[in-house]
Amino acid sequence: MKIDLLGNRVGLVLKENVLAVLAEVELSTVSGAIYNGGFRKTKAILNMEVPEEYGDRRLHDDPIAFVKHSAEKLELSHDFIGLITAAKIRNFSLASEEKEGIVVKVVATAGCSHAEAAGEEIDAQQIDGTINVIVLIDANPSESCMVAALATTVEAKASAMRELDIRSRYTGELATGTITDSIVVAATNTGRRMSLAGPASLLGQLVAHCTKKAIKEAITKQGESLPHRSIENRLAERHLSVGILAAELSKIRALGGKETVALQLSGLLRDDPLFAAFAIAAAKMDEDAVKGLVPPELGKSEEFGIALGSVLLNKTRSQIMKTATRAELASIRIPSNLKQVLIAKLGISLFAEN
């Protein structure tokens, strides 16, 4: 498969496990690529998919051997930039914009199984899931402008992940990327001279818009972190899975065992939109409380959960209430607002202890 990106000057080729941007003339590039990264002149930028049967350990032991072997399929030996991904390259996305004579094309592949939030502690044993982005600029940017475009691309990638509410595999925090992302910014060095590529500049806005669109489409095509995924899934991504919640709530003996509580919670999250909305809202407020972001008009952070819980409790008055001791309630290790919503929906009242 071949797609013309800039007439016959630059094309996009998909061959077996290689997705390549191939140019008739040298492109100026800056990247953090695993092969020939940094500032380079090249006619070829390759994004190479690692087959599932290849093996993570084998790849770690000698990634360059895999890169060179894959490049041979396009009859390339050394003069190229190489990226590696476990995402399916057939699910690539291409976005383009043009304004005032400046053309920007962005090609992205994306997998988010190892999403992370920059700055957190990470103990990764494998590298499945990578966001690779190739930004092609049909203009003549300076070197500093190229670096600024790279920074803007990184910002746009984090923004795309935030808009999809993608969570870190390691902490459940909002993700900023994955542990093995790579970005290449390439320019044709023709046409208009450019010196600025920050988010407010003409070039920066074109780069950001295309990057966000391409990444979001690529993630969706990959079938990961779909925009319409369930509340149950979104809670699990926050490390608040039904299994974890049920294990804690089953400490209240009146609710029954873990399996019973898990089935009940899954059914409620699926069939009761008000409860599902309150649950995700409470989880968000718990996140804000940890970060010190609870606005003063809401009072203490746990009061938000109590208010939501009281609405649900009023709707459950007709059912038979179950009682819990103070010790049972205190032993439940669930963030406070979500805890209030859950115990209210499950019809839990405090047992009057002497």
Residue 267 shares a structural domain with residue 313: yes
- Cα separation, 126 vs 129, in Å, equals 9
Q: Are residues 248 and 146 in the same domain?
A: no
Dmax of the chain from CA atoms? 85
Regarding whether 273 and 205 lie in a shared domain, the answer is no
pLDDT digits (tens, 9 = 90+) for 10-55: 999 999 999 999 999 999 999 999 999 999 999 999 999 988 766 6
* β-strands 140-141, 348-350 pairing: unpaired
State the SS3 of 176-200: CEECCCEEEEEECCCCCEECCCCCC
Same domain as 294, residue 250: yes
Burial pattern 20-35, b for ≥16 Cβ within 10 A else e, equals bbbbeeebbbbbebbb
Taking the C-alpha atoms of residue 222 and residue 166, their distance in angstroms, rounded to an integer, is 14
Q: Say which residue, 243 or 50, is predicted with more confidence.
A: 243
pLDDT at 320 over 70: no
CA distance 184 to 237: 29
Which band of pLDDT confidence, cut at 50, 70 and 90, is reported for residue 229?
A: very high
- Give residue-wise pLDDT tens across range 135-173: 999 999 999 999 999 999 999 999 999 999 999 999 999
CATH at residue 174: 3.60.70.12
Its pTM stands at 0.89
Tell me which of 164, 198, 222 is where a domain ends: 222
Closest by CA position to 236, among listed 249, 227, 245, 247: 245
14 three-state secondary structure: strand
pLDDT in tens, 6-17: 988 999 999 999
CA-to-CA dists, residue 100 to 141, 185, 192, 287, 343, angstroms: 15, 20, 10, 43, 58
Are 203 and 237 found together in one domain?
no
CA distances in angstroms from 189 to 46, 143, 194, 246, 267, listed in the order given: 20, 11, 10, 59, 58
d(CA 331, CA 308): 21
How confident is residue 118, by pLDDT bands cut at 50, 70 and 90? Answer: confident
Q: Please indicate whether residue 215 or residue 344 has the higher confidence score (pLDDT).
A: 215
Q: Which residue is listed with tokens 């290689």?
A: 18
Burial class (CB in 10 A: 0-12, 13-18, 19+), 283: buried
- pLDDT score of 100 more than 50: yes
Same domain, 196 and 238: no
- Total domains in the chain come to 2
Confidence of residue 353 (pLDDT cuts 50, 70, 90): very low
Q: Considering only 90-94, 133-137, 287-291, which range has the smallest mean pLDDT?
A: 287-291
Angstrom distances, CA of residue 290 to CA of 150, 177, 286, 298, 337: 32, 22, 6, 15, 12
Instruction: Answer yes or no: is pLDDT of 74 > 80.
Output: yes
Range of the domain at 146: 2-222
Cα 239 to Cα 77, 169, 271, distances in angstroms: 45, 9, 22
Contact 185, 30 (CB under 8 A): yes
**Rounded Cα–Cα distance for residues 238 and 43 (Å):** 43
Do residues 150 and 137 make contact, with C-beta atoms less than 8 angstroms apart? no
Whether residues 218 and 241 fall in one domain: no
Domain identity same for 199 and 285: no
Name the DSSP class of 324: E
170 CB contacts (<8 Å, ≥6 apart)?
116, 117, 120, 121, 122, 123
Q: How far is CA 309 from CA 95, 252, 341, in A?
A: 45, 17, 4
213 and 332 in a single domain? The answer is no
The mean pLDDT of 294-319, rounded to a whole number, is 72
Which of residues 164, 196, 222 is at a domain's end?
A: 222
Q: Considering 187, 222, 257, which residue would you say is the last residue of a domain?
A: 222
Same domain? For 31 and 167 the reply is: yes
- Per-residue pLDDT band for 212 (boundaries 50, 70, 90) equals very high
Note whether 66 and 7 are same-domain residues. yes
Shared domain for 217 and 247, answered yes or no, is no
Q: What is the pLDDT of residue 352?
A: 45
Pull the structure tokens for residue 168.
């870190």
Round to whole Å and give the CA distance between 107 and 294.
39
- The sign one gets for the Cα dihedral 2, 146, 50, 58 is positive
Cβ 203 vs Cβ 139: under 8 Å:
yes
- Answer yes or no: are the C-beta atoms of 212 and 163 closer than 8 Å: yes
